[in-house]
């Protein structure tokens, strides 16, 4: 018997992920994929597995897209699932238990265990990475362009760490650096909109602190080689945010050959 639950998935060009993602949630009565005009087989694969596919433009606003997804749900309980995530067996059993109990005073946060190059990332701030995912649909909405914020009137409860989502954040290094470029640009624009500014000191000090915190204070060294690599790349991630923020207010116009010669 399937669970009276709507699983909501936002996707764009996720043909490599969407099948395993949906299969991990097949205990739910309804699976809805909000597809942002995919040009690959994402929608086709989702439909073949029984998911309902709704086309809707993301337009750079994750919060609005998630709110739209909530509005499509047919059931009182919703669960948000990303295309690069899988519901583990333990988490699946807990979701069933909670939905069947139907206590609508609570919203539930679960841990997320990320894997990269087949290795679980349990340190360096990667785990438990609690996120709100299971909650009643009534009165719930989401805001935020980069890091969405759930708004609801329910008491948030954290599930045990062992009842976690499985997360595959990066397919390979090209995907990693693509995300790094995308999210550092969004972060810089968000900081400028909040009135923040950057400087040479910020470009140096913040990356040093960020990588030190990840590798030493948060125990990234315990994840071995990949922990070291990710901490070093976190240095560049943080530096890129502050460099981009600094140059958002600068021009990069073509000065012309004569001026270039004068300055050479």
Q: Where do the structural domains in the chain lie, given as residue ranges?
A: 3-167, 173-247
Residue with tokens 């099948």: 19
Burial (CB count within 10 angstroms: exposed 0-12, middle 13-18, buried 19+), residue 60 = exposed
What distance in Å separates the CA atoms of residue 77 and residue 97, rounded to the nearest whole number?
12
What distance in Å separates the CA atoms of residue 136 and residue 132, rounded to the nearest whole number?
11
Contacts of residue 194, defined as CB under 8 A and 6 or more positions apart, other chains included, come to none
Contacts of residue 219, defined as CB under 8 A and 6 or more positions apart, other chains included, come to 123, 124
Rg (CA), the chain: 21
- pLDDT (0 to 100) of residue 261: 61
Spell 21-37 as b/e; 16+ CB within 10 A means b.
Answer: bbebbebbebbbbbbbe
Domain at 3-167: CATH architecture: Alpha-Beta Complex (3.90)
- pLDDT (0 to 100) of residue 249: 84
* pLDDT lower than 50: segments of the chain: none
- pLDDT (0 to 100) of residue 257: 64
What distance in Å separates the CA atoms of residue 250 and residue 196, rounded to the nearest whole number?
15
- pLDDT (0 to 100) of residue 252: 83
- pLDDT (0 to 100) of residue 260: 58
Distance of CA 244 to the CA centre of its chain: 21
- pLDDT (0 to 100) of residue 109: 97
């Amino acid at each position: 018997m399937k669970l009276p639950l709507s699983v909501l998935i936002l996707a764009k060009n996720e043909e490599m992920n969407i099948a395993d993602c949906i299969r991990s949630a097949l205990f739910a009565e309804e699976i809805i994929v909000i597809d942002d005009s995919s040009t690959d087989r994402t929608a086709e694969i989702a439909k073949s597995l029984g998911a309902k596919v709704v086309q809707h433009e993301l337009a750079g606003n994750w919060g609005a897209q998630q709110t739209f997804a909530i509005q499509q749900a047919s059931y009182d309980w919703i669960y948000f699932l990303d295309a690069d995530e899988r519901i583990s067996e333990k988490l699946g059993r807990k979701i069933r238990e909670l939905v069947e109990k139907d206590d609508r005073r609570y919203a539930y946060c679960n841990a997320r265990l990320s894997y990269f190059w087949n290795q679980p990332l349990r340190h360096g701030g990667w785990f438990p990475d609690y996120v709100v995912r299971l909650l009643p649909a009534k009165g719930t909405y989401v805001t935020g362009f980069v890091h969405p914020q759930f708004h609801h009137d329910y008491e948030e409860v954290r599930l045990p760490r062992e009842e976690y989502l499985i997360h595959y954040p990066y397919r390979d290094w090209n995907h990693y650096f693509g995300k790094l470029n995308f999210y550092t640009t969004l972060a810089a624009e968000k900081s400028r909109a909040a009135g923040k500014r950057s400087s040479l000191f910020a470009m140096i000090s913040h990356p040093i602190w960020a990588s030190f915190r990840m590798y030493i204070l948060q125990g990234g060294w315990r994840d071995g080689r990949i922990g070291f690599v990710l901490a070093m790349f976190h240095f560049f991630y943080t530096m890129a945010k502050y460099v981009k923020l600094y140059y958002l207010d600068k021009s990069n116009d073509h000065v012309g050959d004569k001026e270039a010669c004068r300055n050479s």
